[in-house]
Amino acid sequence: MKFITLLAPVVAAASFFSTPVNAGSHSDSVRLIELVQGTGTTVSVNTNQYDESCTGKHGYYVYKEDEVDLMVVCEDQTDTDSPDEVWETVAHESMHVAQACVGGGPLMPAKYHPRFLRELRTLAPHYAKTLMDYSGSQKLIELEAFWAELQTPDRVIGLFELACYKQD
């Protein structure tokens, strides 16, 4: 059974994929997507191969206050039958949603970013290389999102809940 039929609205984005260290299952992806939707974010699977927003991406997240809050999984770039690929995309894009929940910047204190980069260089060097295409705060935002793809579902879900549901 295709994942798409299991889950009408899905969303995510990542430029490249590697097998994550702690890949999630389809049920982990569904759980995280439900949490994302609980923030008011629309989650969608883009099945239109002619939509330029998905060109070269596994997913993306767009947020403009009072205009759009959308997370997308690009079906033509993401094998939606693969729990690993779906999890990577959902984990990555959900971190961008979590970043929006805390005002649009990085989630983690700066002291952790060198550790994240070392982890990427060791476990997913192509992500570390991809980060060189970004600058400034965008690089830190993407660093956290790529790092999330390598984490366990419980860790990603916990970070998401902390950012979006446990604020005072």
pLDDT per residue as tens digits for the range 7-42:
333 333 332 333 445 567 889 999 999 999 999 999
With respect to residue 117, please indicate whether it lies within any of the assigned structural domains: no
Is the residue at 137 inside a domain? no
- Give the separation between CA 10 and CA 75, rounded to whole angstroms: 10
Residue 156 lies in a domain: yes
Quote the domain boundaries for residue 79.
3-104+152-165
Domain count, the chain: 1
pLDDT in tens, 51-103: 678 888 899 999 988 888 999 999 888 888 899 999 999 999 999 999 999 99
For residue 87, tell me if it sits in a domain: yes
8 in a domain, yes or no? yes
Residues forming beta bridges with residue 167, ordered by sequence position = none
Does residue 82 sit within a domain?
Answer: yes
Q: Give me the chain's average pLDDT, please.
A: 83
Residue 129: predicted pLDDT: 94
Q: How far apart are CA 104 and CA 63, in angstroms?
A: 9
Cα 160 to chain center, whole Å? 11
**Residue 137: pLDDT over 90:** no
Take residue 125 and report the two structure tokens written for it. 């060097």
pLDDT of residue 134 exceeding 50: yes
